[in-house]
Amino acid sequence: MNNPIADLSLITPCLLVIMGVSGCGKSKLAKGLQQQLNWPFQEGDNLHSEHNIQKMSQGIPLTDEDRMPWLQKCHDWLKERQTKSNGCGILTCSALKKSYRDILRKDIYGSFYFIYIDVPPEILLQRLQKRKGHFMPASLLSSQLETLDTPEADEDFIKITVANDPFEEVLQKVLLRLQQISIKS
């Protein structure tokens, strides 16, 4: 059975925050979207301070105080894309709490969507245990899952549920949803 393929010409420029807990596939999806759409991309992990990276590397969860400067950097990147990149850009950011998402979307106008990647915890744990070269250890997964406020109806978001789906199918699901949203606007 053939899955439908999105018509990229029908997707209007927007700001996207690819969100979810560590190991859900934010970076992979964001890079796939960037390749398809040719929009600016920022890996949110690269905006963390050295202090935050060291803390997480040691298996210590970040506090809200630790996260605030990072979230502000993420917001600033989005705000800059709004004015300098035709209102389009793709950012990865866990955005676990609604209050964090509020910071990210503050004073942002135009089309803006969170893409929430929902993956079963047992699959997340397997992914994190296999991952090499990343500062976020599998031991912090439970704290991230406890912190997660799933997006609510009053937030503009696209939820993608992923288990062991092939990456191309996940990417096409997101592109098709963006196409549908663009057509409705």
Question: What confidence tens digit (pLDDT) does each residue in 62-102 have?
Answer: 889 999 999 999 999 999 999 888 899 999 999 999 999 99
Q: What does the longest C-alpha to C-alpha distance in the chain come to?
A: 49
List the chain residues with pLDDT less than 70: 1-3, 131-140
Q: What is the mean pLDDT of the chain?
A: 88
Q: Is the dihedral of CA 97, 98, 100, 105 positive or negative?
A: positive
Q: What distances in angstroms separate CA 16 from CA 37, 41, 78, 151, one per listed residue?
A: 12, 9, 9, 14
Over the stretch 1-10, which tens digit does the pLDDT of each residue have? 466 789 999 9
- pTM (whole model) above 0.75: yes
- Predicted pLDDT at 24: 86
The CA angle 54-61-103, to the nearest 5 degrees, is 100
Which domains does the chain possess? 11-184 (3.40.50.300)
- Predicted pLDDT at 5: 87
